[in-house]
Amino acid sequence: MNIKKVGVVGCGLMGHGIVQVAAQGGCEVIALETEQAFLDKGLGRIQKSVAKLAEKQVEKGKLDEAQAKAFVEGTLGRIKGSTNKADLADCDLVIEAIVENLDVKKALFAELGKLCMADTIFASNTSSFPIGEMADASGRPARFVGLHFFNPVQLMRLVEVVRTDKTDENVFAAARAFGESCGKTPVSCKDTPGFVVNRLLVPYMTQALLMLERGDATKEDIDTAMQLGCGYPMGPLTLTDYVGLDTTLFILQGWKERYPNEPAFEVPKILERLVSEGKLGRKTGEGFYKWDGDKKS
Ligand code: CAA
Ligand code: NAD
């Protein structure tokens, strides 16, 4: 199973990065969005990111100017934007990176299951929902995996490859090979809540939010403590701003509903409040911190 043409549904925070690394790996990529304006925003981010990566390679002496130009043009030349799902019909692999809402994801896969060729492999980038439920909704559970990339996709080196009891071994192997072609190290995961990383990371972020809510420490001190005390690249509140407060809330609400007795899955009130105020983190310019573009202001 050789994956040459990839569709990515959703060109937001994660989707645009997945489009980019798949194209960098040599695949033809269709980036699908609901509206042209969202598509343009995602494609604009890819242009900036590819240019930045090329510039850094030149600075490090790994590419000369001509090679950097070829890298940028080659990557961008393999990407095509679309707002028409029919363009995904002949993809070898379609990866979903839309809002963290299981019903919306299941409806999308049911539609794609009818529209895409029988061989197309489906993957979800969900942070928290069961891959098996989406696989069943798609009508092709043997050809379904989780491909969980990390934010920012261009820089984070991991991809979790999730299999269910019904995933075909060859499909799983093809998904791992695709992850490697994107420059990522794959780890194999079972279809458990949060897989490996988020089962550990999201409860940790939650504890930091609860600590802030109780007034145990300031947000700056919590972040500094984890950066300097544990060597984490960013503290948990900055990271929540980075991930998106809405996405973090959807993850926790979904888990709380399914596993009401699991103490690690708490929904901090402060998270509900900020989301209701439209403070979704870096993407809206304010979350726990204020942001000016990509940097804290
Ligand atoms: N594309 C290209 N270049 C990028 C980029 C992108 N998307 N993002 C940042 N860069 C560049 C920056 O421009 C910067 O370049 P210069 O050095 O020339 O200025 C360089 O990369 C370093 O970036 P930063 O200055 O912003 O800061 P940094 O050194 O702290 O690195 C980071 C950034 C890699 C994100 C690092 O802070 C980090 O690893 N943070 C933790 C991220 C993390 O934990 N992610 C997982 C989130 S959870 C998840 O994803 C799962 C889920 O389901 C919720
Ligand atoms: P986002 O809100 O930034 O982007 C979602 C995009 O999907 C939006 O641009 C939206 O217009 C588009 N979209 C919604 N429905 C669509 C449809 N039916 N067809 C085409 N496009 C559609 O969200 P995000 O942070 O990129 O998260 C996407 C997925 O990735 C979620 O499942 C999330 O849990 C997961 N994830 C997020 C992170 C993170 O750090 N934010 C990390 C790993 C995984």
Query: For the chain, first and last CA: distance in Å?
Result: 47
Nearest ligand to residue 99 Cα:
2
Indicate whether residue 256 lines ligand 1 (CB < 6 A). no
Mutation to probe ligand 1, out of 56, 155, 245 (largest number of atoms < 8 A from CB):
155
CA 294 to ligand 1 centroid distance, Å: 10
Centroid of ligand 2 to alpha carbon of 216 (angstroms): 33
Q: Which atom of ligand 1 is nearest to the CA of 126?
A: 53
| Interval between CA 64 and ligand 2 midpoint (Å) | 35
Residue 1 has pLDDT above 80, yes or no: no
Q: What is the pLDDT of residues 41-100, one digit of tens each?
A: 999 999 999 999 999 999 999 999 999 999 999 999 999 999 999 999 999 999 999 999
Write the CB contacts of 37 (distance below 8 Å, at least 6 apart in sequence).
none
> How many A from CA of 193 to the centre of ligand 2?
18
How many other C-beta atoms lie within 10 A of the C-beta of residue 1?
Answer: 15
Rounded mean pLDDT of 28-47?
98
Determine whether 148 is an active site residue: yes
Atom of ligand 2 nearest to the CA of 35: 11
Pocket test for ligand 2, best of 8, 126, 127 (most atoms within 8 A of CB): 127
Whole-number pLDDT of residue 2: 87
> Is the pLDDT reported for residue 274 higher than 90?
yes
214-265: per-residue pLDDT in tens? 999 999 999 999 999 999 999 999 999 999 999 999 999 999 999 999 999 9
- Which residue carries 């261009």 as its tokens? 154
3-state secondary structure 11-31: CCCCHHHHHHHHHHCCCEEEE
Domains of the chain: 5-190 (3.40.50.720), 202-288 (1.10.1040.10)
Mean pLDDT score of the chain? 97
- Which atom of ligand 2 lies nearest, measured to the CA of 32? 20
Which amino acids bring their CB within 6 angstroms of ligand 2?
9-15, 32-34, 38, 97-100, 108, 125-127, 150-151, 243-244, 247
pLDDT confidence of residue 22: 98
The count of residues in the chain is: 297
Query: What's the rounded mean pLDDT across residues 119-124?
Result: 98
What lies within 8 Å, CB to CB, of 54 at 6+ separation is 63, 68, 69, 71, 72
Ligand 2 centroid – CA 38 distance (Å): 11
Whether residue 198 lies in the annotated active site: yes
pLDDT at 133: 98
Given 49, 127, 128, 138, the catalytic residue:
127
- The percent of residues above 70 in pLDDT, for the chain, comes to 100
- pLDDT of residue 267 exceeding 80, the answer is yes
In angstroms, the CA 133 to CA 114 distance is: 17
What is the Cβ-side half-sphere exposure of residue 6, based on CA atoms within 13 angstroms?
A: 34
The answer to whether 129 touches 102, Cβ cutoff 8 Å, is yes
Rounded Cα–Cα distance for residues 263 and 249 (Å): 16
Q: Provide the pLDDT for residue 238.
A: 98
Strands 121-124 and 144-149: parallel
* Rounded Cα–Cα distance for residues 218 and 150 (Å): 27
State percent of the chain over pLDDT 90: 99
Given a contact cutoff of 8 angstroms between Cβ atoms, the answer to whether 28 and 7 are in contact is no
